[in-house]
Amino acid sequence: MKHNGIFAALFAATLLVGCNQSKTNETGQEGSGKKLVIGATMLSMQNEFIVNVADEMDAKAKELGVELIIVDAERSALKQVEQVESFIGQGVDAIIMNPCEVEASSPAIKLAMDAGIPIINVNSETSAKPTAFVGSDDTESARIAMKYIVEKLGGKGNILMMHGFMGQAAQIKRDNGAKEILKANPGLKLLAEQSGEWDRAKGMSLAENWIQSYGNQINAIFAQNDEMGMGAVKALEAAGLKGKVLVVSVDAIPDALQAVKKGTLDATVFQNAKEQGSKAVETAVKAAKKEKFEQQVLIPFQLVTKENVGEFLK
Amino acid sequence: MNTISSSRFGKLGQYGIFLAFILICIVLALSTPKFFTVSNLLIIGNQVSINALLAFGVTFVIITGGIDLSLGSMVAVTGVVAATFAHPDTFPLLVPLFAGLAAGSAIGAFNGLVITKSKVPPFIVTLGTMTIGRGLALILSKGRPISNLSDAFNFIGGGNVFGIPFPIIILIIAFVICSVILNKTVLGRYMYAVGGNEPAARASGIRVSNVKMWVYTICGLLSALGGILLTSRITTGQPNAGAGFELDAIAAAIIGGTSTSGGTGTMTGTLIGALLIGVISNSLDLLNVTSYYQQVVMGVIIIGAVVLDGLGRKD
């Protein structure tokens, strides 16, 4: 799988850099003097949420008249650090990083800081402190989801939890948030927890297997992302249990919003990709121009249920 | 002489795997009452079906002495292609099915063509196709899952016929057809001959290139079937679906006694290999074993199977 990643990333990076460079030429003609250049390295352009953040960054950069170079780190922290190095080599005015890993992506922060280039983390964190952070607190998303379950079950019942890829920042934080609420509500019992690797098919298989072991005992399933949550919904529907089991997940991807509208998924937690993308570019531009900026831009999560799903469907 | 003795021991190895499979099932049935129930067995069959289809395909390839690493990417591409044409009230069901199967066969034929014309090892060629396929899936879907598929399409992976999940029916039909191809046709005999001793096969007049074209195309077709099943099962065409599926499929074939040096292997063995993987992953969930341990257990079984196969050969 590693080889695959390397090839694909090289290919994608060439394409992306190529595209953006051609864009420079187009817009460069109308530009007035020196244009700000921002380099951005994203966790994975195979992830719908990240693609949404990147699209919004692109839109915001056009609006502000700055040049934005987006590259894909293909989930490799090593590649990400190398990409930041090459941004520094190109002499960009600011860097936006959507970190792959908490620890392993940290060296990139130090490199940029040493080169005197502002670096903004978007969506997730690194252990090294960047110039600014724009994103949401993942722990909070799980707290919101779990609190909804507590409320719906009246503080009593059996819960199953689907984890993301074990060891990733989002998985650890969503786990912490969920366990915090579970601890505060001893009436809720965690029957089992297992990784569905953020994947819909894996989440579905896991839910099918759980239905075999726990069947009617299950009151709610909390999935750490919508993909797995949607898988759980499919499995419960097939077993004729959907009416009895509450399913709540996180991210509010378009599919999940549709499911909330139909009432098959009970709730999801909306993480604002647009806001994260546009605020990241805004902050980067301010930092590059040495204007005042906030060092911590926290974009709140929102619970999406059947009652308010209309606001999120566009 | 060589091929005769190795195939005899290949059978012995397969017999061993079959016993191991039964033994593991007995242990599991004793350790959790939830295991040996009709509904759980049907679920296992359903979960195994996609991997088994890919494993059948790669068994043909491995028997001829080749390998195909592009299975997982073909699952993604064909799933995305099928999903594109499977929206409700657009095309009749045959269109997405045909488009998906055609895409898979085309990629498989491309693998076969490059391998036979260029003499580049299949490992390298299919490694390249694996990346190209993943890229194509992302390009075709613009990096986003394709949802809102018709009920008819969703029936393929999610429907039941007389209480039996439809994927299991597809699995059984595919198993019968693949077994017939391998055991009862000239093409099947040629596959063993090419994998057993390619120069000898060539000398005896077998058109080796044609045989290879066939196996990679069939492998592409079966991957496409797997891709369509997966897409239908999760009711979305996912460009990042199927990552790593090639490894599970190859593992199933090897556990089932297919030798990576070519010339030996059976569809029954591969089916047992796929069932073994499915049974273990299902029961580790039933027993609530952490996924970390699941990976270790799976790895141990794969190595164990190959060691067993190797021992059989030396004797």
Tens digits of per-residue pLDDT, B149-182?
999 999 999 888 988 999 999 999 999 999 999 9
Residues in chain B with CB shorter than 8 Å from the CB of A1 are: 243-244
Which of B91, B96, B68, B62 lies closest to B81, judged by CA? B96
Q: Bigger pLDDT: A15 or A54? A: A54
CB–CB of B285 and A166 under 8 A?
no
Kindly indicate the confidence band of residue A22, based on its pLDDT and cuts at 50, 70 and 90.
very low
Kindly indicate the confidence band of residue A104, based on its pLDDT and cuts at 50, 70 and 90.
confident
> A138-270: what fold?
Rossmann fold (3.40.50)
Looking at residue A265, what is its pLDDT? 97
Looking at residue B3, what is its pLDDT? 43
- The domain limits of chain B are 38-252+260-312
* B110 φ, ψ (degrees, to nearest 5): -60, -45
Nearest-CB residue to A3 (from B127, B147, B290): B127
Looking at residue B14, what is its pLDDT? 56
Chain B touched by A19 (CB under 8 Å):
no
Looking at residue B27, what is its pLDDT? 87
* Distance, CA of B129 to CA of A7 (rounded, Å): 11
Residues in chain A with CB shorter than 8 Å from the CB of B282 are: 205, 209, 212
Rounded mean pLDDT of chain B? 89
Query: What is the chain A residue with the closest CA to B279?
Result: A209
Looking at residue B309, what is its pLDDT? 64
- Residue A164 amino acid letter: G
Looking at residue A31, what is its pLDDT? 42
CB–CB of A194 and B290 under 8 A?
yes
3-state helix, strand, coil in chain B (%, to 5): 75, 0, 20
- Residue A107 amino acid letter: P
Query: What is the chain A residue with the closest CA to B48?
Result: A205
B52 pLDDT more than 60: yes
Kindly indicate the confidence band of residue B240, based on its pLDDT and cuts at 50, 70 and 90.
confident
Looking at residue A236, what is its pLDDT? 96
Nearest-CB residue to B241 (from A201, A210, A234): A201
B284 pLDDT more than 90: no
Nearest-CB residue to A4 (from B46, B134, B233): B134
Chain B touched by A48 (CB under 8 Å):
yes
Nearest-CB residue to B143 (from A45, A197, A238): A45
Looking at residue A19, what is its pLDDT? 44
* Stretch A94-123: mean pLDDT: 92
* Stretch A40-46: mean pLDDT: 90
Which of A31-35, B38-42, B284-288 is the least confident region?
A31-35
% of chain B at pLDDT higher than 90:
66
* Stretch A52-72: mean pLDDT: 95
Looking at residue B200, what is its pLDDT? 95
Chain B touched by A279 (CB under 8 Å):
no
Pairing type for strands A296-298 and A267-270 reads: unpaired
How confident is the model over B97-114, as pLDDT tens digits? 999 999 999 999 999 999
Residues in chain A with CB shorter than 8 Å from the CB of B127 are: 3-4, 7
Q: Bigger pLDDT: B75 or B285? A: B75
Which of B216, B222, B188, B223 lies closest to B113, judged by CA? B216
How confident is the model over B179-220, as pLDDT tens digits? 999 999 999 999 999 999 999 999 999 999 999 999 999 999
Rounded mean pLDDT of chain A? 88
- Interface A-B, measured as beta-carbon pairs within 8 A, has a size of 87
- Pick A36-136+273-298's CATH classification: 3.40.50.970, 3.40.50.2300, 3.30.310.10, 2.30.40.10: 3.40.50.2300
ipTM of the prediction: 0.77
CA-based Rg of chain B, rounded to a whole angstrom?
19
Looking at residue B252, what is its pLDDT? 94
Window 200-239 of A, Cβ < 8 Å to B: 200-201, 204-206, 208-210, 212-213, 230-231, 234, 238
Strands of chain B (E only): list them.
160-161, 164-165
Looking at residue A48, what is its pLDDT? 80
Residues in chain A with CB shorter than 8 Å from the CB of B236 are: 200, 230, 255
3-state helix, strand, coil in chain A (%, to 5): 50, 20, 30
Looking at residue B92, what is its pLDDT? 93
Chain B touched by A194 (CB under 8 Å):
yes
Nearest-CB residue to A234 (from B143, B234, B282): B234
Looking at residue A16, what is its pLDDT? 47
Sheet-wide strand order for A37-42: A67-72, A37-42, A94-97, A119-123, A132-135, A296-298
Kindly indicate the confidence band of residue B6, based on its pLDDT and cuts at 50, 70 and 90.
very low
* Distance, CA of B226 to CA of B104 (rounded, Å): 10
Residues in chain B with CB shorter than 8 Å from the CB of A45 are: 138, 143
B283 pLDDT more than 80: yes
- The domain limits of chain A are 36-136+273-298, 138-270
Which of A254, A266, A302 lies closest to A48, judged by CA? A254
* Stretch A234-252: mean pLDDT: 94
Looking at residue B185, what is its pLDDT? 96
Give the CA diameter of chain B.
62
% of chain A at pLDDT higher than 90:
71
CB–CB of A8 and B134 under 8 A?
yes
Kindly indicate the confidence band of residue A21, based on its pLDDT and cuts at 50, 70 and 90.
very low
Class of domain B38-252+260-312: mainly alpha
Kindly indicate the confidence band of residue B313, based on its pLDDT and cuts at 50, 70 and 90.
low
Chain B touched by A55 (CB under 8 Å):
no
